[in-house]
Amino acid sequence: MSDLLAARSQMAVSLMFHILFAIAGMAMPLLMVAAEAWWRRTGDPVYLDLTRRWARGTAILFAVGAVSGTVLSFELGLLWPRFMQHAGAVIGMPFSLEGFAFFAEAIFLGIYLYGWQAVPPRAHLAAGVVVALAGALSAIFVVSANGWMNTPAGFDRDAGGRFVHVDPLAAMLNPAAGPEALHMVLAAYAAVGFAVAGIHAGALLRRPGDRFHRAALALALLLGGPAALLQPLSGDALGVMVGARQPVKLAAMEGQWKTEAGAPLRLGGLPDLAAGTTRGAIEIPGGLSLLAYHDRHAVVRGLDAVPRADRPNVLLVHLAFQIMVACGALLAALAVAAGVTAWRQRGVPDRPWLLRCLVAGAPLGIIAIESGWTVTELGRQPWIIQGVMRTADAVTPMPGLGATFAAITAVYLALGAIVVYLLRLHVLSTIAPASSGRVGSS
């Protein structure tokens, strides 16, 4: 394994690990706040028990996310020093703002966890709201920096290639920032909502009618369902941006080899790199032109328009994109099924067939997010900053990166096992019936 591949692989593993905790930090606080708000309104102790358990889960996931996020920030400087040398001054603003959001999230999470008796009820609930908002803002700021790597803005370059005339605000508000952030936030809510729903759906299959799991299932679907239904709209906005700003990435995503008007939308299929075609795909005439440019006769730039050295790994990008779309479509179908069932039942949708579908669909949102980030990062290659700096030119000259990649991977595997153990112990253990609505320490 070359040092460049080792560095890229280490970043990929770190990002794939961290993103699990980042989406939990965005979505879990919403669930715990909703449960507390309903408990304070109804006095039902089931919702108090649910609030406490979700709060403990949020704390565990936040702690590990803080560690993995810190590792990622160090890796940016250690593995990609030339990137940070040039880009640090341009994208420093969103990273600084993300730091403020992180500290706000940590402070108010502490108030929420330990302030049940110390602060008034409304202040306690408000602290949870701040945690949820700070978690979302933290993700938005980081995604803004990633958007800049895809659509760089807010600087000029002098004759020596140095970045000059830097406008940090224009860099942060780059063309990709808004569509990427909206897509990421909705993806987080959908993924976590359906993951939590799947856990409690499985419990309801074993213990039909359990009030705790019915309450948890209802709140989880209220979070995940609308997000899954709105996700295709944000995906359309993001696709239009990619078509305009990153046509090579779009071509790789869709397996579009030739530049043509009225390009078809391809469902499935395997790109044949040698023949320059995508075999076995179902083609919808004019579909890609319509989705990317809102004109079914528009010209779509193909991979034949760029040298091979400027193309990403078409096979992996295309497959990852197809997986993401398929998972998103299945989640939207689950959301519709759950909504229709709830309307017909006039209550929590707990039909056994639906519960089994929710259990099977629990990992779909997470798979979609991991696949989506694979598309985002691999689709930009061979550029670390689109059209400005190649990834090979940004990697550290330090040798032996294969060993650090192996060590980091082993640490993440061990840390993941510890997280699963802690969640099973403190959050997913057998539910003891709540006998009162009295508030105590969480």
Mean pLDDT lowest among 35-39, 157-161, 338-342: 157-161
Above 90 in pLDDT, residue 129? yes
% of the chain at pLDDT higher than 70: 96
Q: pLDDT tens-digit profile of 169-194?
A: 999 999 999 999 999 999 999 999 99
Above 60 in pLDDT, residue 398? yes
Taking residues 333-360, what's their average pLDDT?
A: 92
Q: pLDDT tens-digit profile of 209-252?
A: 889 999 999 999 999 999 999 999 999 999 999 999 999 999 99
| Position 289, amino acid | S
pLDDT score, position 134: 94
Above 50 in pLDDT, residue 434? no
The pTM score is 0.90
Distances (CA, A) of 343 to 35, 218, 287, 350, 413: 21, 12, 34, 12, 42
Q: How confident is the model at residue 281 (pLDDT cuts 50, 70, 90)?
A: confident
HEC profile for 116-178?
Answer: CCCCCHHHHHHHHHHHHHHHHHHHHHHHHHHHHHHCCCCCEECCCCCEECCCHHHHHCCCCHH
pLDDT score, position 138: 92
pLDDT score, position 428: 66
CA distance 127 to 109: 7
Instruction: Indicate the average pLDDT of the chain.
Output: 89
Mean pLDDT lowest among 72-86, 107-121, 322-336: 72-86
Domain regions of the chain by residue span: 17-244+318-377+413-426
Mean pLDDT lowest among 68-82, 176-190, 341-355: 68-82
Q: How confident is the model at residue 75 (pLDDT cuts 50, 70, 90)?
A: confident
Q: How confident is the model at residue 136 (pLDDT cuts 50, 70, 90)?
A: very high
CA distance 131 to 30: 9
% of the chain at pLDDT higher than 90: 57
pLDDT score, position 73: 83
Mean pLDDT lowest among 87-96, 107-116, 252-261: 87-96
Q: pLDDT tens-digit profile of 17-47?
A: 889 989 998 999 999 999 999 999 998 999 9
CA distance 67 to 140: 19
43 burial type by CB count under 10 A (0-12 exposed, 13-18 middle, 19+ buried):
exposed
